[in-house]
Amino acid sequence: MEMETTISLLDIRPLVPELTMICVGLIVILLDLIVRKKEVVAIVGIAGTLVALYGTYKLYGFYEPQSAFSGMFVLDGYSNFFKLIFYLNIILTICISFKYMAIEKASFGEYYALLMFATTGMMIMASAADLIVLYLGLELMALSTYILAGITRKRQRSNEAALKYFFLGAFSSAFLLYGISLTYGLTGTTNLREIASALQTLDLNGSPIMYLGLIFMIVAFGFKIALAPFHMWAPDVYEGAPTSITAFMSVGPKAAGFAVLGRVLFGAFAGMQVQWASILIPMAVLTMAVGSIIALAQTNIKRMLAYSSIAHAGYMLLGVITGTTGGLMSTVNYLAIYLFMNIGAFAIVIMLRREGFQGENIEDYMGLSKSHPLASALMLIFMFSLAGIPPTAGFIGKFYVFMEVIKAGYVYLAIIAVAFSAISAFFYLRVVMYIYMKDPKEEVVLTRSPSMSIALAVTAMMVLILGIFPSFLLNLVRYSILG
């Protein structure tokens, strides 16, 4: 099955964005040594990302899927859309972390470089057409985020977060490898397309060993996107990690996880849809349940948002479960929307952080609306969006997913999902309640910065605009995935 391959320089072309990101990452590290003002470093990081974005855009100009490196790397609408999410993710993260990291005293070049490397890892995952590349991309992303989670190393919480994330991540990647090895053993290949055809020709769809391999891979991907029962790390890590990284992690790796999940399940294991759907359905239900229910008892807003992010993963997973392109589109759409609302919410959380004040307790938000009406209003928007109340984008995301789920015939799943979304509304409302309906205990001071304002403006605008005029995003998703 294996044939000689030659690699030409042309193969590098589709890789331009990734290379740009890596180069910028290196430049940032070097720059860190030269410039004193760390803002410059951050701006270079953003600029580099924009360059990469431009690269993707240029390559993206044609929806024709391209592959390079003997079919290990593909560039198609699917991957490009995910890359778009990653770019926005990193740009917004950098925007919100400026001041914050300075307060945390960790605003140095490596921080931005690691963000870029992590993003590169995600991009590779999104483009991976081979399990090896996928594994390496995943590790690149994972290792970078482990470090980022622990980057404020004077804080014990941060250390602990990194520690837990690392150990469980390594544990889960062992499972991934085990799954890959079984797949490899049965199909003789790691290329996704070849796996698909091998499954057909060798009639492996019913093989329990194949099933085992698939389950192990799902475990690993489920870990990355925090699906119950593999979500256990998420609350702790989200809480302990620096808030900007929490924002970054709650979107990026999750999206990357979905990218590979979609790629693997739809690309390689399309023939086993019945099997994997039957695995994922209880997982999705459990995820929504765990996320929505445990979040109710939380008092730390980061932790609450962590559970909320788990619950959201459950909704997104529904789209994958359908096994239809439409379902995948709905998931992807949800991810894009989730990016804005989640980072927006975290941005507000970050604003409360100031010298000597954590601002992570929900009680800290008491009476915020008195002193900061605008920030409160934005938080309100994000919270309602996360709860999926129209006319915010969160509703569009949920609606699309439910639509596809029902279209695929899983009405009961939709009903379960809406039930949990009603439950989850409670803890979002609680934040709003603290902001608007309680009197402040003490004066809340917000840490402001221009970049933060930009990030907030962008996220809030997108949440509202996409909530009312979702067509743009929907079309983008459609073209990206259907070509």
Partner 1 sequence: MLKYTLIPLLPFLSFLINILFGRNFIKDRAHWIAVPAVVGSFLLAVSAFLDVAGGRDINVNIYSWIVSGSFNVSVGFLIDRLSAIMLIVVTSISTLIFIYSIGYMHGDGGYYRFFAYLSLFVFSMLILVMANNFLLMYFGWEAVGLCSYFLIGYWFHKKSAADAGKKAFIVNRFGDFGFGLGVILIFLTFGSMDYMQVFGEAGGIAGQTINLLGYDVNLITLICLLLFCGAVGKSAQVPLHVWLPDAMEGPTPVSALIHAATMVTAGVFMVARCNPLFNLSEVAMNTVAIVGGVTAIFAATIALVQTDIKRVIAYSTVSQLGYMFLALGVGAYSAAIFHLYTHAYFKALLFLGSGSVIHALHDEQNMQKMGGLKKYMPVTYWVFILATLSITGIPFFSGFFSKDEILWRAYLAGDLGKFLWFLGTLAALLTAFYSWRLIYLTFHGKFRGTHEQEEHLHESPPVITVPLMLLAVGAVAAGWVGIPPIFAEHGDKIGEFLAPVLGYPEGEGTHAQEYFVMGASIFVAVAGWIIAYTMYLKKTELPQKLGAAFQPVYKLLFNKYYIDELYSKTIVQPTLKASDKIILGFDTYIIEGIVNGIPNLIGAFSRKLRKIQTGLLSDYGLIMAIGALSIIGVWIFLR
Partner 2 sequence: MVPLSWYIILSAVVFSIGVIGFLTRRNLIMTFMSIELMLNSVNISFVAFSHYLQSMRGQIIVFFVIAVAAAETAIGLAIIIAYYKNNPTIKVDEINLLKG
Partner 3 sequence: MEDIIYNQLDYSILSWTVFLPVIGAALLLFIRNVSAVRWTALLFTIANFFVALPLLKHFDKSTYKMQFVEKSEWIPSWGINYFIGIDGISILFIFLTAILSILSVLVSWKSIEKKVKEFHIAILTLEAGMLGVFVALDFFLFYLFWEAMLIPMFLLIGVWGGQNRVYAAIKFFLYTLAGSVLMLVGIVVLYFTSGGTLDILALSSMQYPFQLQCWLFLAFFAAFAVKVPMFPVHTWLPDAHTEAPTAGSVILAGVLIKMGAYGFLRFSMPMFPDATKFFLGPVLILSIIAIVYGALVCFAQKDFKRLIAYSSVSHMGFITLGLFALNTQGVEGGILQMLNHGIITGAMFLMIGIIYERTHTRVIADYGGFARLVPWFAGFFIILTFASIGLPGTNGFIGEFLIIFGAFKARMIFGVLAATGIILGAGYMLWLYQRVFFQDANPDYEASGRHPVSDLNMREVITLIPLFVLVFWIGFYPNTFLEYMHASVEHLIQQMNLTAVAGNENMIAKYITEIF
Applying CB under 8 A, the residues found at the interface with partner 1 are: 163-164, 167-168, 171-172, 175, 208, 211-212, 215-216, 218-219, 223, 228-230, 232-233, 235-236, 275, 278-279, 283, 290, 293-298, 423, 426
Q: Looking at beta carbons only, is 148 or 321 nearer to partner 2?
A: 148
Q: State yes or no: cis peptide before 391, omega within 30 of 0.
A: yes
Are residues 341 and 386 in contact, defined by beta-carbon separation less than 8 angstroms? yes
Specify the 3-state DSSP secondary structure of 269.
coil
Stretch that binds partner 2, among 25-33, 70-78, 97-105, 183-191 (CB under 8 A): 183-191
Phi and psi angles of residue 89, each rounded to the nearest 5 degrees, phi first: -60, -50
User: Taking CB under 8 A as the rule, does residue 202 contact partner 2?
Assistant: no
User: Taking CB under 8 A as the rule, does residue 229 contact partner 2?
Assistant: no
Phi and psi angles of residue 191, each rounded to the nearest 5 degrees, phi first: -75, 130
Neighbouring-strand partners of residue 82: none
Q: In the 8-state DSSP scheme, what is residue 231?
A: -
- For the record, the structure tokens of 403 come out as 């639509």
Site for partner 3 in 390-409 (CB under 8 A): 390-391, 395, 399, 402-403, 406-407
Specify the 3-state DSSP secondary structure of 63.
coil
Judged by CB under 8 A, the residue of 7, 12, 174, 468 near partner 2 is: 174
Are residues 431 and 359 in contact, defined by beta-carbon separation less than 8 angstroms? no
368 CA to centre of own chain: 29
User: Taking CB under 8 A as the rule, does residue 222 contact partner 2?
Assistant: no
Q: Looking at beta carbons only, is 172 or 480 nearer to partner 3?
A: 480
Q: Give the residue carrying structure tokens 């994330």.
A: 165
Rg (CA), the chain: 21
Q: Which residues of 262-292 are buried (b: 16+ CB within 10 A; e: fewer)?
A: bbbbbbbbebbbebbbebbbebbbbbbbbbb
Site for partner 2 in 298-357 (CB under 8 A): 298, 303
- Binding site partner of 132, from partner 1, partner 2, partner 3, none, Cβ cut-off 5-8 A by kind: partner 2
User: Which amino acid is present at 289?
Assistant: A
User: Taking CB under 8 A as the rule, does residue 200 contact partner 3?
Assistant: no
Q: Which of 293, 230, 292, 221 is nearest to 263 (CA)?
A: 221
- Binding site partner of 184, from partner 2, partner 1, partner 3, none, Cβ cut-off 5-8 A by kind: partner 2
Q: Which residues bind partner 3 (CB under 8 A)?
A: 369, 373, 380, 384, 389-391, 395, 399, 402-403, 406-407, 411, 414-415, 418-419, 421-422, 425-426, 429-430, 432-433, 436-438, 469-471, 474-475, 478
Q: Which residues bind partner 2 (CB under 8 A)?
A: 1-2, 132, 135-136, 139, 143, 146-147, 150, 153-157, 159-164, 166-167, 170-171, 174, 177-178, 180-182, 184-185, 188-190, 235-237, 239-240, 297-298, 303
